[in-house]
Chain A
Amino acid sequence: MIESECVLLVQFVTICILHCFQGLHCDSTFFGAMDNLPDQRNVNGESLLQQQPCLLEFISSVCKCKDADHAILSFTLKLTGLLAATEQGFRLLEEEGLLACAFERGGWCAPDLWHEPSVRSGWLQGLLNTLNHRKALEFIRENGLIKVLLHLQNDPSLFVSSLANEVLVNILNFMTSSKMSNSSDAAGSTQCPMGPDWVSVSSEIIRAGVEALGSEKHPQVIQALKMLSLVLSQCGEPIRSMLWKDVLVPLEVLINGGSGSLTLPLMNVLQAAVRTPLLSQSDCKVMELTEAMLCAGNGKDCFQCAVLIVTLEKCPDVLKRKAINIILLPLRCLSTQLQDIAEKELEIVLEKQLSQKSSCISLLLQSLSGITELAHTKYPFEDLQSVTRSVMLLLRICSGHLSSFSPHRISLTHLIGCCKVQRCGLDTLGALSVYKENVDLRHEVFGVLLEYLQNPDSHATVLKKALQAAVRWIDVWSPFPDLLQFISRDLFPALEKRTCDVRWEVRDSTLEFIAQMTAALRGNTGYAEVLHTSGMFSILLSSLADVEGYVRASAVGAVGEAVTSLVQQTELLLASYLEEILSRMMAILSQDTEGFPRRAVVKAFTSWLKGPHPLPALDQSLSSVLSSGGNDFDWEVKIHTLELADVLMEKTLTCCPYAVQISSSPDETHLTQALRKLKDLGLLDLLLNSLFDCDRPVCEKACSLLLKLRTLAVDIDRCDVVLDVCGNRWGDEVGSRYLNKLQAERNLLSIKDISLPDVVRLLDLDSMQRTLTLSSDHVVNSPRSLMEDILLSVQQTEENIVDCY
């Protein structure tokens, strides 16, 4: 925001509030607008206060008002903090006694407002805004505000307590930053020696943290752990080491105490500590504590802990392996490998957990997500294939195919049909496809996936996951010749049923999958034939008439990919379908009531046009696509049509073999021919009509394409393509500009035709492009607009009842 405009804005806001804050009704728009103001971090508080002395009056009035509104007080506190962010601004406010008035407890005349969380939040935000120089910190210390901050750490409001933590951490961090030293010597020093006052402040905060860690009140412990994580991740030395030294003992007590509900916050602390140099200092015991976390607790928590440990970036191999062993334990327990397990104590816990439905599910989810995390980093599992097999086994148990299987007499019937585990397991199976070593398991993997695809009871979300996993494994299988046999014999029959599923979600996911698979197997000689001979292509065509718009769009995408695949391999096969495909695509584009299928059609045409093998007979349809797409009532269809126009233009004007050959030497005839072809296809009308569309993105795209046309056709001035003004939307606009120009030349004539070079010249595309880039249809966010809105809302005498949609 420009500073001068900002000054004006603040003035208006404050004047408005000053005059009406007593009777102001809660207008969310008004406060929303004010809320944007403190985001402007570069406000020069001093100059603002000098130019706008009414601000001082405003702060004072609000703080002294007995029945001030809490939202206005909150805003005032934030604003005061912002103005005090510079030393000069701070001094001015201090001289007027306004800092004490705003931030000292009991400074306001409406102390009851402290009960409002928004006011406490505003107070904290205000203090946070001031924390930019030494004086602010002195103010906080001298007025005993640290105590208030420590108290607010345990505020009942999540927002307030979290903000209080942020302010405390900022104070600790700030004390060691260069801002604390005098500006003269700040430049050279990266660390500032702490004076005795600051030692006392930091000690107070650290002491409170240590006490809270030892507290019996659970929420206090959690807040202290949260602060600890923040300090470790945000503060530098010496604070980090000072704090760690003091919290080490209570931290050990907490870890060895093994309270399950603290696992996550404790692991967050350790995660933060691992990222610091504390990790390499043996007396800091970071790894010891992490290992203790894994071993302590009631067994159940160690699984959660193990999942968190494997996500640590820097983790000693021994510990990581230990955590991985624990993660794999539940899955091993399902298979027959449990006798190898060293952790016999865990075995008992495990059996108990696995035999109860809810704990069994949560345990397996943790185990699976741990494996997925590891697969994302391509962790070298020692027994990768057995891990993969365990996941498959679990998936088979969940689908009910192995209900009688139970190596340890644990009844696992409760897992049958459990969507949560199925979804997570399929995600994990998909993730395991990254390992090349797993390629031998492809048949088994697809065996499991097929079971899911064929099972009529599979939930739609589960099927989607199965298909997503299948796409990843198709990629693994694609180099092998037996893939095609599998697709034609097993996969397509299963998918065929799914394309007729009563649930649109399933039909859609299936079609999306077919499109993805076809794209992945592009260039595979046999696949196109399988697509044809299996009858799948006909099924895709029939899906174009689905009742659900989303499904029609996915069908269009799948047909688009299939056509690309067929045209590359078996053009002859395609020929029999092509006419039908094009007519059905055109019917969707011109008649479909939903935007998604229409967008998909234009995208399909674009991809066909882009492809290396031109589609026969495409040329005849292009003109209709450009015309229908350009007149669509969904602006995104228009944008896609302009993208198609872009490809067409590029192909026509720059490269062979499509349509017109342009020689490298400037050849007027060729250029004119090319442009005439574009005109005949309706491309030029599309660009010009779109330039005056009511949706800005369409205008912007059209303008950029006309500019591109000017660049591509360097000799456009010499071409003799003439455009018909009448009967076109753009005609009025261009016609009137033309007439104005002619009038200026005192030549009063009516026009019917204008040459293309004239049109391009008349339009002043560069200036149009500038305007279009600057403007935004959505919301005008300029300070001027904001001011106008605020002023008008205050002047409004009649209350508009807030319309809540």
Chain B
Amino acid sequence: MPEIKVTPLGAGQDVGRSCILVSIGGKNIMLDCGMHMGYNDDRRFPDFSYITQNGRLTEFLDCVIISHFHLDHCGALPYMSEMVGYDGPIYMTHPTKAICPILLEDFRKITVDKKGETNFFTAQMIKDCMKKVVPLNLHQTVQVDEELEIKAYYAGHVLGAAMVQIKVGLESVVYTGDYNMTPDRHLGAAWIDKCRPDILISESTYATTIRDSKRCRERDFLKKVHETVERGGKVLIPVFALGRAQELCILLETFWERMNLKAPIYFSTGLTEKANNYYKLFITWTNQKIRKTFVQRNMFEFKHIKAFDRSYADNPGPMVVFATPGMLHAGQSLHIFKKWAGNEKNMVIMPGYCVQGTVGHKILNGQKKLEMEGRSTLDVKLQVEYMSFSAHADAKGIMQLIRMAEPRNMLLVHGEAKKMEFLKDKIEQEFNISCFMPANGETTTIVTNPNVPVDISLNLLKREMALGGPLPDSKRPRTMRGTLIMKDNSLRLVSPEQALKELGLSEHQLRFTCRVQLHDSHSDSETLGRIYTYLKSALKNYGVQHLPDGTVIVESIVIKVTSSPEEPNLKVILLSWSYQDEELGSFLSTLLKKGLPS
């Protein structure tokens, strides 16, 4: 039986880094190739030696598919392609291909900055890796090779995020990556065909949560910024160059416009322009509202947000500054933080994940005294706020996607085991399908039973009905007999007569013959008469005929008797029957072998 195998090397019962291996129809596909931000040694990358030794990844893998630009989904890609050695195709959407190298470069700079970091990819490696990427369009079927095809769907998690359907023959798998089922300020909701995949591999970050609307979180954010600015304080928002930053910029820009606020908003990174350009370039990937207003005004051309110069940090009065990097571990954001930390009127808003050991992580945990370089201490008096804006589907959204795609099996990844367990039960109960949640390194095998669609001729159906068969009903499977014609890549079941006619073939009959010898002192015709009488009594429900041409006929079975002049008592009984009466023919030959009753 054909089977599909799924092995997570990452994201199996965790949210660390996504890397899932799928084997389907003899093809091996890697879904995402993420990095674990929490480690700073080899463990940050998936261990590819579990896939194949000696770095022969190119021979083993048919393709790699990246769902979106976040580093826990694409961060190990240059390592895999340029350091371990993978020369095959890598697929991702156009926006992901454009944005991915910026984030990889951003993180590379942070990482190599740290002392003792080795075994990390270079800027050249990022570029070489991106050259291997084949961009995908939404809803466009891409043929990886003759058998394997992939198709991307909108996932709504970040700009360019995609779910992907992988198909080999009649078997298929859908991988969601990270997705969001509710539209937000700049992105739309995830959507997929009713494609009925054999397995739907879904993220389950918020498997047990019904999240409050993002609008509430946004209101909360604006309120906090506004209050701080009103009391003359400064607001620092550490961000990475892309993603969350653009979302928050739109939010503040609109709010400033509406409230007619005058306090300056700055964006410190030099990448702003490029990043915003990408949002402009890929406007079709944003939501309907942004696309509509684009005609009048491009939402990414900000009126209130200006470029920041480091000297502005000392300016008196309120201001809001977006500064990189996002975890307050280096550069501009840390520099500004040090200047502003001592004033309780100020505020820092952390809008994302912070790695253990970073200043961001420490202040989020409530640390009030930070040891800085040179053993100096920094008192943290400013307000520290954490806001989660991550756009993942909650339990309701996951169920909604299952209803959309109607998978035959579910497989949960990118979530915590306990929460997955809860959702698994819920899915199994509600949809009556199997749900799996393999841990990292565990393989889930699903036996598929691919349905082969066949067209049935109307004549055949009519004939069935004429014979008293029920009306065709898609919910009641039943057996149909006919001739299967495979022609022009399609299958049709027709009556044998129609098949002969269509294919221009003449009918042949297959007959089985058999000889049985028995001793009988009567003449040949008498022996035949005795056979007739015997069969007439033995086979009461069958039509047994004695024909004048010297044959006995039972259904399609013809019986003749001959003998040679040398041995007239040794009778040779010839039996011949057609394929349809094979059982009866065998029965008669066995019966006659036992001899005739005296």
Contact = CB atoms under 8 A, between A and B. Distances in A.
Interface stretch (B105-113, B249-257, B447-455, B525-533): B105-113
A776 B109 CA distance: 13
Contact of B357 (A26, A634, A780): A780
A789 B361 contact: yes
Nearest to B444: A156
Contacts of B362: 785, 788-789, 792
A778 interface: yes
Interface stretch (B189-197, B269-277, B483-491): B269-277
Contact of B269 (A162, A633, A775): A633
Nearest to A775: B373
Interface in A604-635: 632-635
A789 B366 CA distance: 9
Contact of A423 (B14, B15, B87, B205): B87
B356 A33 contact: yes
A800 B366 CA distance: 12
Contacts of B563: none
Interface string A763-795: 000000001111111111100011011001101
A779 B355 contact: yes
Contact of A158 (B205, B209, B443): B443
Interface residues of A: mostly helix, strand, loop or mixed?
A: helix
B446 to A, nearest CB: 14
A366 B273 CA distance: 47
B28 to A, nearest CB: 13
Interface in B84-140: 87-88, 105, 109-111, 113-115, 117, 123, 127, 130-132
A460 B131 CA distance: 8
A587 B244 CA distance: 31
A281 interface: no
Interface in B386-413: 386, 388-390, 392
Contacts of B105: 595
A28 interface: yes
B441 A803 contact: no
A65 to B, nearest CB: 16
Given A162-B50, A593-B270, A777 B353 contact: no
Interface string A745-774: 000000000000000000000000001111
Nearest to A311: B54
B392 A804 contact: yes
Interface residues of B, number: 75
A805 B70 contact: yes
A461 B392 CA distance: 35
B310 interface: yes
A803 B353 contact: yes
A803 B59 contact: no
Nearest to A414: B146
Interface in A345-388: 357-358, 362, 365-366, 369
Interface in A682-705: 694-697
A735 B408 CA distance: 73
A29 B330 contact: no
Contacts of B298: none
A596 interface: yes
Interface string B40-74: 10000000001001000001000000000011100
Contact of B352 (A26, A369, A635, A805): A805
A627 to B, nearest CB: 15
Interface string B9-24: 0000011100000000
A776 B270 contact: no
Nearest to B123: A596
Contacts of A496: none
Nearest to B335: A694
A596 B122 CA distance: 12
B418 interface: yes
Contact of B361 (A29, A162, A362): A29
Given A771-B374, A780-B357, A789-B357, A461 B131 contact: yes
Contact of A771 (B53, B72, B373): B373
Contacts of A594: 274
A776 B388 contact: no
Interface in B335-373: 335, 352-353, 355-358, 361-362, 364-367, 373
Nearest to A424: B87
A788 B367 contact: yes
Contacts of B317: none
A160 interface: yes
Interface residues of A, number: 72
Contacts of A33: 356
Interface string B256-286: 0000000000001111011000000000000
B331 interface: yes
The CB with the most chain A CB atoms within 10 A, among B40, B117, B356, is that of B356
A636 interface: yes
Given A771-B373, A789-B357, A32 B38 contact: yes
A162 B331 CA distance: 42
A779 B373 contact: no
B198 interface: no
B171 interface: no
B39 interface: yes
Contact of B109 (A117, A636, A785): A636
A365 B62 CA distance: 14
A403 interface: no
A138 to B, nearest CB: 31
Interface string A99-139: 00000000000000000111000000000000000000000
A160 B88 CA distance: 29
B32 interface: no
B524 interface: no
B7 interface: yes
A721 to B, nearest CB: 26
Nearest to B102: A594
Given A160-B441, A780-B357, A803-B388, A28 B16 contact: yes
Contacts of B113: 635, 695-697, 776-778
A801 interface: yes
B146 A357 contact: yes
Contacts of A157: 439-442
A694 B310 contact: yes
A32 B330 contact: no
Interface string B229-255: 000000000000001000000000000
Contact of B72 (A160, A774, A804): A804
Contacts of A460: 131
Contacts of B439: 116-118, 157
Contacts of B442: 117, 156-158
A635 B269 contact: no
B365 A634 contact: no
A266 to B, nearest CB: 13
A194 B88 CA distance: 50
Nearest to B352: A803
A118 B438 CA distance: 12
A779 B440 CA distance: 26
Interface of B: 7, 14-16, 38-40, 50, 53, 59, 70-72, 87-88, 105, 109-111, 113-115, 117, 123, 127, 130-132, 145-146, 178, 205, 209, 243, 268-271, 273-274, 310, 329-332, 334-335, 352-353, 355-358, 361-362, 364-367, 373-374, 386, 388-390, 392, 414, 416-418, 439-443
23 contacts: A28-B38, A33-B356, A264-B53, A362-B59, A423-B87, A424-B87, A460-B131, A461-B131, A461-B132, A550-B127, A633-B269, A776-B114, A778-B329, A778-B358, A779-B357, A779-B358, A789-B362, A792-B367, A796-B365, A802-B353, A803-B352, A804-B205, A805-B243
Closest A-B pairs by Cβ, 6 of them: A778-B114, A792-B365, A779-B357, A694-B335, A159-B441, A777-B330
Given A508-B127, A776-B114, A786-B357, 17 more contacts: A28-B15, A158-B7, A593-B273, A595-B270, A694-B310, A695-B331, A697-B113, A773-B115, A774-B373, A777-B329, A778-B114, A778-B117, A778-B329, A779-B356, A789-B361, A804-B390, A805-B243
